[in-house]
Amino acid sequence: MNILYILRHNPWGIGGGCYACRCYLDAFTTAFPNDHFDVCICKEYILDESVNADYPNVTFIKVGERSKFSKLLSPFTGILHRFYKTTRLLLIHGGYDYCIFDHNSIAGSLVGLCKRLGVRTIVINHNCEAEYYRDNHDWLHRALFLRHVKSAEKKSYLGCDYNLFLTEEDREQFGQLYGHSETQSIVTGCFEFKRNGNNNGNGDGNDNSGPNENEKLKLVISGTIGNVQNMDGIQFFLKELLDCAPKTAEVVIAGKNPPEELTRQIDELNRSGRYATVSLIANPANITEIVNGCDIFVCPTRLGGGLKLRVMDGLRAGLPVIAHKVSARGYSEFEKHGFLWAFDSKQEFAAALSDVIQLIRSKGLNRNDIQDFANKQFSFEGKVEMLKNTIV
């Protein structure tokens, strides 16, 4: 087959969207190794032509920025991405069998053309974009673009042949927002991207059978700090949940681009001596090492939709996870197995933290058990087989 693949995110970048983009790109190109992929990508993402060696069945097509005039017209045209003109020409002249969209904002503007040309379509819904856009943009952007975001998402959901979702909650929410879709909807969850060697091992060679023998119990929060939904979650934790943690504990906040105000706020909290010690690690070189050295993973994010991929960091390290119910979406199997606790209030968080601490102290949690279950759930090979058996 001849397949066109349009990437909104940077598959080698940092962040949840980039990670999921890489996972799906690796999975599709692995599932269909004998088919050719033309992959449209923002030109600034290709920094090293050596990436071509990792994708022997891919031709990367670098797409430049839109003109300022085109961007100014976006509130009127509803075109929210740079790929529109390039992709139209490719679709008309390329003879493609499939087009894969790495976001419904791109799919919504092009699914009609694909239908007219007889090109079958697959859209990767990273989240409920209308919900994400509402929670992460100011009133002006919402006023100018939210209606276009909803329109593109609806056209994509109703018009594409396959809708891939990261969570069952997202699939249900799409149905509530946009009605019944005749297209095939598949909940894939998220997973590891392709790695050299065995994807399913612990990767560290350490004995993870019990909790870290730290002098202090360590809670960790990770993720890109300097965006709206994550900063909201951190503020929620510091202002409402921090006093639930034992004063003898340490809370580690690690992530990209923390604002200076957060540093000052944490310094003031530590000087007060009223709470557990809070450590801020800005732009860590290796988030895995930090998470591995802690005991409990906390995700207080309560805004936005989709799967909070940072939760995977904790589960892959074998840590029990306490997550706000918004961040617990897509992890129901871990909750059923007693590896994840969801909360919706300070009282529920305090109860969950007490339960987890008791289990850690009594050695009732085995890190290897959590890690082994995570490896099975996030298996790259398993998702490749799912795609092979689903896409026809």
Domain 218-377 maps to which CATH number in 1.10.3720.10, 3.40.50.1980, 3.40.50.2000, 1.10.4080.10?
Answer: 3.40.50.2000
At 128 the pLDDT is 82
The pLDDT assigned to 306 comes to: 73
How close are the terminal C-alpha atoms of the chain, in Å?
11
> Would you place residue 197 in the very low, low, confident or very high pLDDT band (cuts 50, 70, 90)?
very low
Rounded average pLDDT over 45-74: 89
Q: Which residue has the higher pLDDT, 128 or 264?
A: 264
pLDDT of res. 196? 55
Strands (E) across 190-287 are located at 218-222, 250-255, 277-282
Could you tell me which of 58, 365, 46, 17 has the C-alpha nearest to residue 166?
17
What percentage of the chain has pLDDT greater than the value 90?
A: 67
pLDDT > 70: what percent of the chain? 95
CB 8 within 8 A of CB 106: yes
16 pLDDT tier (thresholds 50, 70, 90): confident
pLDDT tens per residue, range 314-355: 999 999 999 999 999 999 999 999 999 999 999 999 999 999
Contacts of 205 (CB under 8 A, 6+ apart): none
Please say if the pLDDT value at position 200 is more than 50.
no
How far is the C-alpha of 55 from the C-alpha of 51, rounded, in Å? 7
> What pLDDT, on the 0 to 100 scale, is given for residue 278?
96
At 198, is the secondary structure helix, strand, or coil? Answer: coil
pLDDT of 14 reads 78
Equal fold, 2-189 vs 218-377 = yes
Amino acid at site 356: V
Q: How high is the pLDDT of residue 322?
A: 98
What average pLDDT does the segment 281-307 reach? 90
pLDDT (average), residues 14-42: 92
Mean pLDDT, the chain, integer? 90
SS3 content of the chain, % helix, strand, coil (to 5): 45, 15, 35
Give 102's Cβ-side CA count (13 Å radius): 26
- In the β-sheet with 120-125, what is the strand arrangement from edge to edge? 58-63, 36-42, 2-6, 98-101, 120-125, 162-165, 184-187
Predicted confidence band of residue 48 (pLDDT cuts 50, 70, 90): confident
Mean pLDDT value of segment 366-388: 93
Q: For the domain covering 2-189, report its CATH number.
A: 3.40.50.2000
Of the CA atoms within 13 Å of residue 106, those in its CB half-sphere come to 27
| pLDDT tier for residue 305 given thresholds of 50, 70 and 90 | confident
Q: What is the pLDDT of residue 207?
A: 45
What's the CA gap between 170 and 157, in Å, rounded? 12
- pTM here is 0.83
Q: What is the pLDDT of residues 235-244, one digit of tens each?
A: 999 999 999 9
pLDDT digits (tens, 9 = 90+) for 61-118: 999 999 889 889 888 988 889 999 999 999 999 899 999 999 999 999 999 999 999 9
Instruction: State the average pLDDT over residues 47-54.
Output: 81
Using pLDDT thresholds of 50, 70 and 90, give the confidence band for residue 211.
Answer: very low
Boundaries of every domain in the chain: 2-189, 218-377
| Top-confidence residue, 216 or 111 | 111
Q: Supply the DSSP symbol for 238.
A: I
Q: Is the pLDDT of residue 201 over 80?
A: no
Q: Summarize the confidence of residues 282-298 as an average pLDDT.
A: 93
Cα–Cα distances (Å) from 142 to 129, 130, 136, 183, 388, in that order, read: 12, 10, 9, 29, 39
Residue 276, pLDDT score: 95
Question: Does pLDDT of 138 surpass 50?
Answer: yes
Does residue 303 have a pLDDT over 90? no
